[in-house]
Structure 1
């Protein structure tokens, strides 16, 4: 910030009540320009002269707060009057949230107990050239707001009859200003508005609102009520087998809103929290509710849609919709695992498996740049990377395939967008991660002796295990090789000496091949091929295909194997089997959930089992984007649009569509930094028609023929 403001807070504890800070002043000269600079320890909403300042929801966002805190700049010139009043309402947000909900740690208890506050000021430039600065200091006052409670997990309570009558002098307090950074990530914004689809009574007699689509955000309702009427609403993702409201899978998160009405017609939505939901239980609501009274407002980072996939199969199109919605719903400033239960954390494993799909679906360069800066900030001195970023699970062991987000994510963002700055920013972090493994393994040139999540939720897991049956040391060593290779590639791009890492990678591959001559699970076969570790990749891919067929054309993979399974099959001549898996409707499959009415991607293939019962209440999210990573196979293999590694950012393209007999047609496009690349194939009576548009030079492969083309539109027949 450009001036010396003071951190200010309330002069006494307010419990769950959100305080509102207030400052008034006069502007007697003509204003040329006025700018508000503002940040908070918590989340804030600012109003100037009764008008909302900016469109940022849940500002200042979520960063590694101890080291990085964003501040925002707002042009408030048009909001100024002669008599001015600026108010800032402060909620706990992520800064003081009891995250994670399922455990108490010293870090969590410290976080809950630390003070909230705001810092900022107004910089006014007058027409006569003079300037005025109004900063946060002891001249401000505070009072209780009408928001009587707000918290990330539990929701919000607003009393619209409450009037702030008692104002108190604020208290200045010491907090670092060295951690302040200008807004770096995309702003969180209100996005799509989803109209309520229906209001109905369940068999249990509950009044429920259905939006027909699971979203992250909040409901806005309009009601004609008397002062003091009470509204109480619970949020849920699914109905149970009998058609009744269900949200036991939210675990300890109350996910509720309470609103005390004022007199007359009024419209309200929460301001300082968010929910993941499709259904609302109207526990208390005045009058007979109608769909027209409710609007679901989707809230997520302001990422621009860049990808599109369409096919001849309605079920597959619904899956694609689910993948896009799962990304929207979980890209709320941080790539979270889920938006609803007492978690909502930036799990690194989920992020790394989905980064490629994410970067094709939406423009996420700025989004991931900010998040990766937080990853580096939270990375331990010894190089270990936490399970979540920002790291609210302090003290856990670094896990393979999760902590490897430190290398996989920056490399993919570079490949998709072509800007080497992300590699320059993250290179030290990338090396530190590989060095951590090198220094903590019990077997040189492998990673053994660690504690990992394995092939999380693998379908081949033994009874009672979440980790799948693939050997943990095998997975860890495979990712050790992959991350080391990415350090080498990144170093070559930005001109760093990576000779030692080149030698290390060669030794890892040799040691891996000597140690693991056999592959026991689908995932072990997949990783050996995907990371170039198998002595004979074709033979290993063929063995994988046979194993899948022997398993009844079913995947047996989890979080680690699933993102790569179709790629390995297609790259080694088994595209027919890849389509069989993609289009399979029975459990386990991507389309199984679609058949059960899913509108986002599930955490478990059978979150709702075939008999209609739930997999569990313990860990059963119906909005978990990770398995949506299958979309990158559709872009890259089915539609055939791939970046050329030596020409990142789609400066040149490789386009090799691979049609499948299960579909009549398929088309996809990606809006790149150089324009939109699109590819579509259609089965006709006696041939396959290809329509390809490329704004960049490209190698187009149709069947056995390869064409070097300049930018343009091309039609091929096979």
Structure 2
């Protein structure tokens, strides 16, 4: 009896020990249960969860199997117990992975408190088609003749087939030239939009995979697709630029059905498919919108038994299949829906709906009326000063929906192959009463998951944070676009580099940028130049001699380094390293003496310029050659640090010497002995200080000059796209956090809060997109949904709330808030690769309370903005290891939740 009692005690202790640490949030290549995957050695990550403090992983064990029960017969790889503190991006090291196979995996861990976890719940990944010969289908083109200068109706293509046995599973693999909308037995396949996405099509093309088992039935079935112009041959950029990648749309689709007896049947695109282009979608274009005539709908065209005798045969064409890749980033999807805030009759008599938020997406609406009635929906971001509908800033983009009713009861419409940037819609020729319940704004963007947030006691700053996140969501639509509304919507590199660090706080963007940077490699010039936009639709024909602009082309060094810091993805650095070297080598040929002079530089784009009414006022202009040399030096320094990470010691020494050469030339050419720069602008001091280009003896003088300029403008900034992201950081790094806060809280033009005060719900392209008198800036370039100036969000997270990286991927965290009397509280949270980090402070009378959360398997250094270590309390108790330092009281902590008072 006693032995049984002891056994029960031991079992209880074992269960208790297991309960102290758990494993969850399993991801593979930054994705949850990815399908398809073509990484031949995928990397696996997980998070630890424990109620105890100071938890660190000491070992882990991974096992991979062909079934979710992990039986002996299905086990493929067992890592065994591996002593390691690493829980992110651990490489699969089992047998070679096979095409189209699903692999289940789970992990268990041991920690530094003698806890052993249970096995985690199973996660999985499914391989794509790893070899060109795995594709049994053929490319088909469904169009007979095409007027390449027009916007022809999207073609339909279909095939019927029979399934002869009991189905176990089915996968549809699909890609296209142009966009595709796949249907099986009358139902849309999957939730993804704008597939196969926008890549450097001439180099690689994504394919998507769907589990369609529940869409098939024994016996007769039908599969079909609608194809849209999209980025492949639709309008891109300006000057009627069409057919950038090709003139004919094409489809490659392969349906693989696995029966319960283990046999397979493949239904692929081939000569047996049929097509036509006389359907209800009369026109679909990214910029111009969509025209739909419901009277021309073809009922049941994608169901079995449909009579397609009048349809024509498709053309089977030959295209390579070795350029087909699995998606590296998240798909575009419907994310959210908004209802109208109010219906307006404008002074001009237009019927307008205000959704209260500037978004990217489209309208879904219901309508009842006579057949042949055409309802037109137009889109706008703003109303003019008189309250009228304003679309001039859209330039040549029509952004219009036209729906012709079939006249049978209530009809519902939403577009297929277009998107708009808008807050307001104008409704023309709507039959009956205009009711808000009949209209819904559908928000669409890449399905990036929210990882961070910032909130504080100032409502204007909270609105600014909202504007930053809405701007990011609206412009992260498969590529990081500059704007979602006018005839542009391109992946401008300067915007992306300026915002990449803030982007990684707000949302999980590892896969999103990984995909886009792969396109940068493909589109980079043979000479090393980096195009202004990625994918490149402006210089593609000049592949051998691409020109690059400072601060824009530098995205090829800045973005990979920022992503490495946040996610610890060394494989990304390895992949991008050659691209980074080519860019620096190209600049070096233009700067043999260390100074990059001349070239197509955009400079400090859209910096503040003096008003004509006051011609003596300093404009804020910075010499483009100064900027070019500064960014050249910065890219060289990033390349040196990257070489260090990758163990390339010779390269590290080479780039260290090159940086020193550039720095010496920079100071000789652009900096006076007093520390004054040749441009004497805010951006000139910001870049010189941020990139460590000033000689040490001149740093204080340069900082003083920057502060003097800011104060001379009444605490206003004068920076543009390249100076603004670093402005507040330079001030706080050099002892002037108070001046940074003066800029942040400035409400008059130019400032971050001026657009907020003017009613902005996203970040504007210009500081004064709407002028103080409510008139507009130049309509030729005046987007109300850009994200570049939203880079201030990075400073709000890192300085106001004090949530900062200590070691790569937040393995070590710095909590170092710099409170201001202008706020009574501020808080930031961030879901890192290890778990949630929280840093939030609030004033309580004369004291400050700082709440901190540190995830398991990490440590942190907490720097409290006070000088008296003896007065610091944590959980009401004195802190034994608190130490005084020049920056404040420093406390080293492990994982857990803490409440400091001081």
TM-score bucket of the superposed structures, by smaller chain: over 0.9
Post-superposition Cα deviations, 1:477-522, rounded to whole Å, max 9, x if no partner, equal 0000100011111111122241222211121112212222132100
1:607 equivalenced with 2:769 (yes/no): yes
1:642 Cα deviation (Å)? 0.9
Task: Give the corresponding residue for 2:588.
Answer: 438
The answer as to whether partners of 1:216 and 1:300 remain within 8 angstroms in 2 is yes
Out of 286, 289, 292, the residue aligned to residue 152 of structure 1 is 286
Matching residue of 1:630: 792
> Within 2, Cα distance between the matches of 1:329 and 1:284?
29
| Structure 2 match to 1:456 | 605
The answer on whether the counterparts of 1:71 and 1:183 sit within 8 Å (CA) in structure 2 is yes
Q: Return the alpha-carbon distance in structure 2 between the equivalents of residues 449 and 181 of structure 1.
A: 39
2:707 matches 1:563: no
**What are the Cα deviations for residues 98-155 of structure 1, in whole angstroms up to 9, with x where unaligned?**
2112x36xxx455276211111111111112221111111100011231110011100
Give the Cα separation in 2 of the matches to 1:289 and 1:410. 50
| SS across alignment from 1:449 | coil
1:447 to 586, 590, 596: 596
1:53 aligns with 2:189: yes
Q: How many aligned residue pairs are there?
A: 709
Instruction: Give the C-alpha shift of residue 267 in structure 1.
Output: 1.6
- The aligned residue for residue 664 of structure 2 is 510
Task: Answer whether contact 1:17 1:147 (CA < 8 A) is retained.
Answer: yes
Structure 2 residue corresponding to 1:474, chosen from 626, 629, 633: 626
**What CA distance in whole angstroms lies between the structure 1 residues aligned with 2:611 and 2:720?**
13
The corresponding residue for 2:392 is 248
Please say if 1:676 is aligned against 2:836. Answer: yes
Would you say the 8 A contact 1:31–1:126 is kept in 2?
yes
**What is aligned with 1:274?**
419
Residues 468 and 578 (structure 1), Cα distance of their counterparts in 2 relative to 1, 3 Å cut: closer
What residue number does 2:435 align with? 290
Matches within 5 A, 1:563-712: 563-644=725-806, 647-695=807-855, 696-703=858-865, 704-712=888-896
1:368-407 alignment to 2 at 5 Å? 368-394=513-539, 395=542, 397-407=547-557
Counterpart-to-counterpart distance in 2, 1:65 and 1:294: 36
Distance 1:698 1:393 in 2: 46
Q: Is the 8 A contact 1:98 1:112 kept in 2?
A: no
CA deviations on 1:193-218 (whole Å, 9 max, x unpaired) are 11111222111100011110011011
User: Do residues 138 (structure 1) and 138 (structure 2) align?
Assistant: no
Q: Which residue number corresponds to residue 428 of structure 1?
A: 578
Tell me which moved more, 311-320 or 109-118.
Answer: 109-118
Farther off after superposition, 278-287 or 494-503: 494-503
Aligned counterparts of 1:11 and 1:400: Cα–Cα separation in 2? 43
Deviation at 1:317, TM superposition (A): 0.8
Name 2:81's counterpart in structure 1: none
User: What is the distance in 1 between the residues matched to 2:350 and 2:139?
Assistant: 47
On the 8 A contact 1:221/1:293 being kept in 2, the answer is: yes
In structure 1, stretches of 5+ residues that fail to align are: none
Aligned residue number for residue 85 of structure 1:
222
Q: Render the CA deviation track for 1:311-338: whole Å, top value 9, x for unaligned.
A: 1111111111000000000000000000
Confirm or deny: 8 A CA contact 2:143 2:276 kept in the other structure.
no
Aligned: 1:8 with 2:140: yes
After superposing the two structures, state which structure 1 stretch, 427-436 or 195-204, moved more. 195-204
Q: Which residue in 2 is equivalent to 1:265? A: 410
Q: Which moved more, 1:167-176 or 1:665-674?
A: 167-176
CA RMSD of aligned residues (A): 1.6
Does the residue aligned with 2:231 lie in a helix, a strand or coil? coil
Work out which of the residue numbers 318, 325, 329 in structure 2 matches 1:185: 329
From 335, 344, 347, give the equivalent of 2:480. 335
Structure 2 unmatched runs, 5+: 1-128, 299-307, 866-887
Name the counterpart of 1:300.
445
Query: Which of 716, 726, 748 is the matching residue for 1:554?
Result: 716
- Report if aligned partners of 1:63, 1:70 keep a CA contact under 8 Å in 2: yes
Give 3-state SS (helix, strand or coil) of 2:232's partner.
coil
Please report how far the alpha carbon of residue 61 of structure 1 lies from its aligned counterpart in structure 2 after TM superposition: 0.3
Match of 2:161 among 25, 43, 57: 25
Q: Bigger shift: 332-341 or 447-456? A: 447-456
Q: Distance in 1 between matches of 2:391 and 2:609?
A: 28
Partner deviation per Cα, 1:384-426 (whole Å, 9 max, x = no partner): 0000000011156310000000000000000011121110110
Q: TM-score, normalised by structure 2?
A: 0.77
Over 3 Å off, 4+ runs: 163-166, 460-464
> 2: CA distance between counterparts of 1:708 and 1:539?
34
Query: Which residue does 2:560 correspond to in 1?
Result: 410
Q: Could you tell me how far apart the structure 1 residues matched to 2:804 and 2:797 are?
A: 8
Larger Rg: 2
Does structure 2 retain, via aligned residues, the 8 Å contact 1:457–1:468? no
